[in-house]
A and B are shown apart, each in its own frame.
Chain A
Amino acid sequence: MEARAEVLPGDYRIVYGEMQKYMWRLTGGDGLDIVAILKDLLGLFETGAADGKRALEVTGEDVAAFCDELLRNANTYTENWREALNRDVMNKLQSEEKKK
């Protein structure tokens, strides 16, 4: 995978590197789904580069928003927190009900 990233044009390498850093920081679990996302992302970037487009024409100026959209398909810390929050609320409300 890193070999594929190495041969991308310079601007793609920069964007890919920064996106990688951002996404790894948010990873939850074993991170395998981030690997899958990065692999697909390389495919998108290779296609864009082959079409002669600049990296930001593919991702848009808001690279962070693009990352967040990609992360919706992955196991992340924040997603785990959200699930835990909803689960805890449910559990606590239920045990409160039982006490009555």
Chain B
Amino acid sequence: MLKGVLEGCVLEIISRGETYGYEIASSLRTLGFADVVEGTVYTILLRLEKNKLVTIEKRPSTIGPPRRFYSLNEAGQAELAAFWAKWAFLSLKINELKENHDGKLPEENSRRQEGMEGHGGAR
């Protein structure tokens, strides 16, 4: 599951301006994802590339092979919006589950609340 979350984070980071693998990994570590290495970001970037969500530009570097710089294309922007929508749904549902951790599912609670109407509210 974390993989999908990280993929969304990477999309968000790229959307803020053209960047490359090492910089993305550093941003994620600064965010608190302590064990994110370049390899993790690398496999995510491969997937984004395969799904044609990013534009890639190769630029020569002073040492080593040319570096790949990433920016989001239109499909990438759409994917990012979809990620945040999915995330909003997921966090809402998980928080609902957490707040109802006395074992009652949300429906049961609302059913109970209906029954208690007129008696001073259920919350």
Contact = CB atoms under 8 A, between A and B. Distances in A.
Contacts, number: 44
Contacts of B64: 46-47, 49-51
A59 B39 contact: yes
Interface string A56-94: 011110000010011011000000000000000000000
A70 B43 CA distance: 6
A43 interface: yes
A53 B39 CA distance: 12
B65 A60 contact: no
Given A43-B65, A50-B64, A58 B37 contact: yes
B47 interface: yes
B38 A48 contact: yes
B88 interface: no
A60 B63 contact: no
B38 A58 contact: yes
Interface of B: 3, 22, 35, 37-40, 42-43, 46-47, 50, 61, 63-65, 67
